[in-house]
Amino acid sequence: MYTKDQFEKYFCKIIGITIDKYRERFVTLPCDCQDDDCTGWACVANNELSIKVHNNRYNGGDHV
């Protein structure tokens, strides 16, 4: 299982941006999507709607 920090570094490496750029554009939120390759974290676009949608679906919202 990744820590939040490890996830961010991993994600930046995959998409080829610096951690500073990542933090400008994205936020890292806990994820319980149950995907096989889920790290327990999700990269979500840094805006209110995306964060809200993610939290509803994958972070203790009323999904399932």
Q: Is the dihedral of CA 1, 30, 32, 48 positive or negative?
A: negative
Nearer to Zn ion (CB atom), residue 5 or residue 35: 35
Nearer to Zn ion (CB atom), residue 14 or residue 20: 14
Q: Please, are residues 43 and 26 in contact by the beta-carbon 8 Å criterion?
A: yes
Nearest alpha carbon to residue 30 among 10, 12, 9, 7 = 7
Interface stretch with Zn ion, choices 1-9, 13-21, 25-33, 46-54 (CB under 5 A):
25-33
Please report whether residue 15 would count as binding Zn ion according to CB under 5 A: no
For Zn ion, the binding residues (CB under 5 A) are: 31, 33, 38
